[in-house]
Chain A
Amino acid sequence: MREDTPQEELNYVGKGTERVDTTEKLTGKAKYTGDLRMPGMLHAAVKRSPHARAKINNIDTSDAEAIPGVHAVVTGKEFDYKLGLYLVDKDVLARERVRHHGEAVAAVAAESPGLAEQAVKKIDVDYEVEEPVLDALEAIEDDDKLVHPELDDYDYFEPAFSPQPGTNVANHTKIRKGDVEQGFEEADHVIEREYTNPNVQHVPMETHVAVASWKEQDELDVHTSCQSPFTVRNLLCVAFDLPHTNVHVEVPYVGGGFGGKAGIGVEPLAACLSKKANGRPVKLEASREEEFSLLPCRSGLTYRIKSGVTEDGDLVAQKMTMFWDSGAYADYAVNVTRASAYSASGPYEIPNAHVDAYTIYTNKPYGTAYRGFGHVEFSWGLERHMDLLAETIDMDPLEFRKQNALKPGSITITGEKIVENTGNVTKCMEVAAEAINYGELTPEEKKRQEETGMKIAKSVSALHKAPAMPSFTATAAELRMNEDGSINADLSLTEYGQGTYTALTQIIAEELGFPPERINLSIKGDTDKAPYDWQTVASKGLLMSGNACIKAARDLLEKAYQDASEVLRADPCDLDHNENEIYIKHHPEESVTFSELAVGYAYPTGEGIGGPIIGVGRYMAQGLTNLDKETGQGEPALDWTYGSHGVVVEVNEITGEFNILKVASAFDVGKAINPANIRGQVIGGLIQGLGTTICEGYAYDDEGHLLNPSFTDNKIPTSMDVPEEIEGIVIETPQIDGPYGARGVGEHPMIALCGAIGNAIYYAAGADLTHMPIRSEDVWWALHKDEDRDRPRYSIC
């Protein structure tokens, strides 16, 4: 939409406008769910399982209930329903069995957090501990040790997913294009290898928190730190069998989500506790430790890739098998599996492709959406693999990528035809390569090598990602004009740090021709007041809500023009407007102000016409279809955002230490609505990607206990760890159905970074890495593979 508008005709779009939430956040005025204090509010605490897999024989809550000030104690027995968005597999509290270390088995609401904690300690749970199934590759084979023996009874979203009852497979997605076996025969070389990734925690600054009040007549009010208020409302209504008019979800400022708050989290338990406490509000706020094992993480992945390549550098066939370790529950993980399956080849054209992607239950903390939605994980293996293939045929890896890159006319593995306006991944690679002086060391880099004794190397990776969402995903925006001609706007995309609200404000301002200061886009989410949005995920917010805002602005102007045409006795086609008034084009002195029209126009005689000026815009994802369950063919992608990372890395060949000297990343965003915000997203995403690359991941013992369950042992990078230089580069190939040609770029900066760094380390020191994260020690072990020693089990796996 409006993708052809030249920049010189734009007043607000394309500018680095200051974020709309700057002052509130910097002054501390912004209120988050955790800041809420309500009259009579109780505090919740959760009893968690110390075992990865056990039967619950009995839970004795009598001592906890006897403590004065404890108002509610609940156990799983009280809830005979499950929750889920795509696959309804999760209990509010574990019922007959626990399926992962840290799972909630009981909960308490009491008058203070300390009292609630004390009561939780008095709950006595009698477990019958069982041997857990921890390895996804074993779990897929093991039909005796089922994590969900009742899988056959679960509801699921049938058009998109295929659970396999009687196994630990929660979903199997298949993609088939061409004839992969024939392709291997045509290939000069066939290379197969396996790449692995651990579970990773999202670590939003604000942990999961909700305050629920179950009032009289089953009216349920929930304030929550979530990404998707309407999903929370809908799932609460389904679980509790309540009409949608009874459930009211409000979302104040949110301190980060990264996918971990995409679905439903602590809200149902807070609601149940409030109900049992006779409607007193209950706050359930996860501790940082609870974020690591009570709440979901990123699924682990083992990715097996078998590729056929010709001497000339053509990728002719690729068989891709993904084993997604979703942990104990797979509600959101099934969709990660599906999305990664249809993107599994990366931004490359594969004539003969074969993907099997499995979501596998194990007895580990469960997986959910995480920035990148599977693409960070599979791109690790894929981008390492691309370099391995290039090396096999003695070709420069960048040239090999460019030769096989998707370009206009290419057909993706699901049969989608790439066109000019899809975007330009080749250009992304070229500019990223140029920005790091790919292919040579600068004199400064050579000097640095001599001074430090470390080896410097460079590499370039490529990436793509489309929003992963139902084919019929929709959103809406509503604009209401105030008496002074300013605009109050509402939509239900959640602003949890991305900056989208600033970009949307710019889009509304551009479309109306009003300055952005006159637009007040309410940051607070409220399902009673704001129009529907499916979820705030998938890097789809800017495109979809942007289009809804454009349509709402047009609708609002149409109403204003209608009323103005009566006042000015002119056809709307003869009218135009500036910031303040609508006027007749041929007689600009004949005009009526927006302020006069805003809530209904009054003639001097007192008679009124029109009424409050309101604009509504709806937007439905365009052209998406279900994928065929046997072949995976169909249209899964609203838009593809392409990107590329160029990295410069130095490695100490003796200790395996490495430093990332520079990252230059280019993304084809279609149109940069707010270049400053994009830079913010790029830097933030790169640093998060850096965490995934250098240090993050869960480690377990043989019984499935998390060995690094807190910040003490499970670290993320800080500002002290960032690369010496970060360069973000924007490419603008307009998206025809994007607002002003824009696409999302929220997730993309962290995709394929790890592969680029892994490849550069390989070129610098020869360390051939197949497991993420890469810590200095991993480089060291990779350099000593030939020494025939077993790596101790404490490593992140």
Chain B
Amino acid sequence: MQNLKEFERPQSLDEAVEKISAKPGRRLLAGGTGLSITDSKTTIGLVDLKSVGLDYIEDDSDAIKIGATAVMRALEESSLLQNYAGGLLADVAAEVGTTPLRNMITAGGNITQLRVWSDLPAPLLALDAEILVTDQEGETTYPAQKFFHRHPSQLLDDTDIVTEIQLPRGIENYSSSYTKFVAVDDSYAVTSVSVVLDMEGDTVKDVRIGVGSASPSPARCPEAEEELVDAELNESLAEKVGEICRANVNTTDNVWGSGDYKSKLIEKLVKKNLLQAKTS
């Protein structure tokens, strides 16, 4: 960012909206981990979101609300999240990078940048979360499925500010299971699978499966979920569902794994996490 000349630290969301819209060439600064590996010649100003008051995680009657600048460490340590849907989001946050990174990486940055190491999108899909975005016109709410349908940069303008993630009420007592498949502990995922499950006896009442890092955008597996609902979850069904997920997620190659291997992992991790969620 050799042409960077301005640094703004607005004290409210309104001021942030005003600052980011004031001039072209301004970018938002949240945790800074994404910006640190960006070398943009066109960025002339940064608008720091640190002081606009978006670092909350709070219980609200309609939803659990996670402010966009809440860091991974806060998610990891939040008792609210630890007790929501089997603690899925707290578990996911706990495995992001290393502790120093978790003290920097923000929830909003993680989902907006959507890089291969973004771990939140897949579980947010599985939780049917909603993402709030503010610009000069006002606030827009996107379901996670829409937000992550393509890369968020294609959905959002440069002046849009992701402000909040909302986790829906009604699934607090669902169980969940998560696997981040890595080569070494602090590496990013070759593939990750999140399962959120509601059972009545051995029968599945509701289920959501999110797959991360295997493809450019995180994926839900509706075909697999349909197969499960109202069925008896046992090993053979879990295996079959794994195969369905494998067939329905288009995987891609990167340095940490081939698409073929990621497909195999999806199959096995979906099975494993379904069975784990069932017993947890």
Question: In the complex where A654-B268, A777-B258, A780-B261 touch, is A794 in contact with B253 (Cβ < 8 A)?
Answer: yes
- The residue from A121, A776, A794 contacting B183, defined by CB atoms under 8 A apart: A776
* Interface presence of B186 (CB below 8 A): yes
A654–B264 Cα distance when bound, in Å, is 9
Q: Nearest 5 CB-CB pairs, A to B?
A: A720-B185, A777-B261, A792-B253, A792-B258, A695-B183
Other A-B contacts than A694-B183, A718-B184, A794-B254, 11 sampled, CB-CB below 8 A, are A655-B181, A695-B183, A713-B256, A720-B184, A776-B183, A777-B258, A777-B261, A789-B260, A792-B258, A792-B260, A794-B255
Judge whether B184 and A716 touch: CB under 8 Å. Answer: yes
Is the pair B186, A715 in contact by a Cβ cutoff of 8 Å? yes
- Tell whether A775 is near chain B: CB-to-CB under 8 Å: yes
Per-residue A-contact encoding for B256-271, CB less than 8 Å = 1, 0 else: 1111110011001000
A715 in contact with B257 given A118-B2, A654-B268, A655-B264 (CB within 8 Å) = no
A715 close to B183 (CB less than 8 A): yes
Tell me whether B187 is interfacial, beta carbon within 8 Å. Answer: yes
Residues of B within 8 A of A721 (CB): 184-185
Prevailing SS type, chain B contact patch: loop
A657's nearest neighbour on chain B, judged by CB, is B181
Contacts of B22 in A (CB 8 A): none
**Chain B residues whose C-beta falls within 8 Å of the C-beta of A654 in the assembled complex:** 264, 268
22 pairs across A/B with beta carbons < 8 Å? A118-B2, A121-B2, A654-B268, A655-B265, A691-B184, A695-B183, A699-B255, A712-B37, A712-B117, A713-B256, A715-B184, A715-B186, A716-B184, A718-B184, A720-B184, A720-B186, A721-B184, A776-B190, A781-B261, A791-B258, A794-B255, A796-B255
**Which chain B positions have C-beta within 8 A of A708?**
255
Residues of A within 8 A of B253 (CB): 792, 794
Nearest Cβ on chain B to A85's Cβ, whole angstroms: 33
A-side contacts of B184, CB under 8 Å: 691, 694-695, 715-718, 720-721
C-alpha gap A792/B190 in the complex (Å): 15
| Neighbouring A residues of B117 by C-beta, 8 Å | 712
B2 x A792 contact (CB < 8 A): no
CB of A795 closer than 8 Å to a CB of B: yes
Per-position binary interface string of chain A over residues 708-733, scored 1 when its CB falls under 8 Å from any chain B CB and 0 otherwise = 10001101111011000000000000
Residues of B within 8 A of A776 (CB): 181, 183, 190
Q: B residues touching A (Cβ–Cβ < 8 Å)?
A: 2, 37, 98, 117, 181, 183-187, 190, 253-261, 264-265, 268
Given A716-B184, A776-B183, verify A707-B255 contact (CB < 8 Å): yes
Contact present for A715 and B187 (CB under 8 Å)? yes
B255-A777 in contact (CB<8A): no
Chain B nearest CB, measured from A290 CB (Å): 15
Name the B residues within 8 Å of A715 (CB-CB): 183-184, 186-187
Question: Chain B contacts of A707 at CB under 8 A?
Answer: 255
Of B2, B185, B190, B256, which is within 8 A of A718 by CB?
A: B185
Residue of B with least CB distance to A122? B2
For the complex, give the distance between the alpha carbons of A715 and B256 in Å: 10
Q: Which residues of A contact B258 (CB under 8 A)?
A: 777, 791-792, 794-795
Give A789 to B258 CA distance when docked, in angstroms. 12
Bound CA span A707–B256, Å: 11
Known: A712-B37, A794-B254. A718 touches B186 (CB 8 A): yes
**Cβ A655 vs Cβ B255 within 8 A:** no
Contact with B along A89-119 (1 / 0, CB 8 A): 0000000000000000000000000000110
- A118, A121, A713: the one contacting B255 at CB < 8 Å is A713
Mask, A629-662, CB within 8 Å of B = 1, is 0000000000000000000000000110000000
Contact of B264 among A121, A780, A795, A796 (CB under 8 A): A780
Closest to B41 in A: A121
A775: contacting residue among B2, B98, B183, B186, CB under 8 A: B183
Considering the complex, which residues of chain A in the window 740-797 have a beta carbon less than 8 Å from any beta carbon of chain B? 775-777, 780-781, 789, 791-792, 794-796
Closest to A114 in B: B2
- In the complex, how many angstroms separate the beta carbon of B230 from the nearest chain A beta carbon? 29
Cα(A717)–Cα(B264), bound, Å: 24
How distant is the Cα of A654 from the Cα of B2 in the complex, in angstroms?
Answer: 49
Within residues 115 to 136 of chain A, which ones have a CB less than 8 A from any CB in chain B? 117-118, 121
Closest Cβ neighbor of A652 among chain B residues: B268
CB distance from B189 to the nearest CB of A (A): 13
A777 to chain B, nearest CB (A): 4
Give the Cβ gap from B255 to chain A, nearest Cβ, in Å: 5
Kindly provide the distance from the CB of B253 to the nearest chain A CB, expressed in whole angstroms. Answer: 4
| Cβ-defined contact, A792 with B259, below 8 A | yes
Q: How far is the CB of B175 from chain A (nearest CB, A)?
A: 22
Measured between beta carbons, the chain A residues less than 8 angstroms from B261 are 777, 780-781
User: Which A residues lie within 8 Å of B186 (CB)?
Assistant: 715, 718, 720
| Chain B residues positioned under 8 Å from A794 (CB to CB) | 253-255, 258
The minimal Cβ–Cβ distance linking B193 to chain A, given in whole angstroms, is: 12
B186 to chain A, nearest CB (A): 5
A443 to B245, CA, bound (A): 38
Q: Give the residue among A712, A716, A795 with the most B Cβ atoms within 10 A.
A: A712
How many angstroms from the CA of A707 to the CA of B254 in the assembled complex?
A: 10
Return A124 CB to nearest CB of chain B, in Å.
14
Residue of B nearest to A699 (CB): B255
Which parts of A182-239 form the interface with B (CB within 8 Å)?
A: none
Assess whether A655 is in contact with B268, with CB atoms less than 8 Å apart: yes
Nearest chain B residue, comparing its CB with the CB of A654: B268
Closest to B185 in A: A720
Residues of the B chain whose Cβ atoms lie less than 8 Å from the Cβ of A775: 183
Residues on B with C-beta less than 8 A from A791 are 258
Complex Cα distance A796/B254, Å?
Answer: 11
Query: Distance (Å) between the CB of B208 and the closest chain A CB?
Result: 23
A358 to B95 Cα, complex, angstroms: 44
B259: chain A residues at CB < 8 Å are 792
In the assembled complex, the CB of B239 is this many whole angstroms from the nearest CB of chain A, namely: 11
> Which of A121, A780, A789 counts the most chain B CB atoms within 10 A?
A780
Contact partners of A718 in chain B: CB under 8 A = 98, 184-186
Question: Which residues 655-708 in A have Cβ within 8 Å of B in the complex?
Answer: 655, 691, 694-695, 699, 707-708
Complex interface: chain B residues within 8 A of A795 (CB): 258
Instruction: Tell me the complex Cα distance, A222–B257, Å.
Output: 44
When C-beta atoms are compared, the residue in chain B nearest to A712 turns out to be B37
Which residues on A sit within 8 Å (CB–CB) of B260?
789, 792
Note all chain A residues with C-beta closer than 8 A to B257. 777
Docked complex Cα distance between A296 and B223 (Å): 50
Instruction: Return chain A residues, CB-CB under 8 Å to B265.
Output: 655
Q: In the complex, A117→B4 CA distance in Å?
A: 14
Query: Complex: how many Å from CA A796 to CA B264?
Result: 20
* Residue on B nearest A773 in the bound complex, by CB: B183
Q: Within 8 Å CB of B190, what residues of A?
A: 776-777
Residue of A nearest to B182 (CB): A715
Nearest Cβ on chain A to B209's Cβ, whole angstroms: 18
Residues of A within 8 A of B98 (CB): 718
Please, how many angstroms separate the alpha-carbon atoms of A715 and B98 in the complex?
13
| Cα distance A654–B243 in the bound complex, in angstroms | 14
Task: Give, as a whole number of angstroms, the nearest-CB distance from B92 to chain A.
Answer: 17
A627 to B184, CA, bound (A): 42
* Chain B proximity of A57: nearest CB distance (Å): 24
Interface residues of A in 333-388 (CB under 8 A from B): none
Chain A residues positioned under 8 Å from B37 (CB to CB): 712
Residue of B nearest to A778 (CB): B261
Q: Which of B2, B186, B190, B268 has the most CB of A within 10 A?
A: B186
**Closest-CB distance, B267 to chain A (whole angstroms):** 9
Please report the C-alpha to C-alpha distance between residue A708 and residue B187 in the assembled complex, in whole angstroms: 13
Per the bound structure, the CA–CA distance linking A781 and B257 in Å amounts to 11
Q: CB-defined interface of A485-525 with B at 8 Å, one 1/0 digit per residue?
A: 00000000000000000000000000000000000000000
How long is the Cα–Cα vector from A679 to B63 in the complex, in angstroms?
54
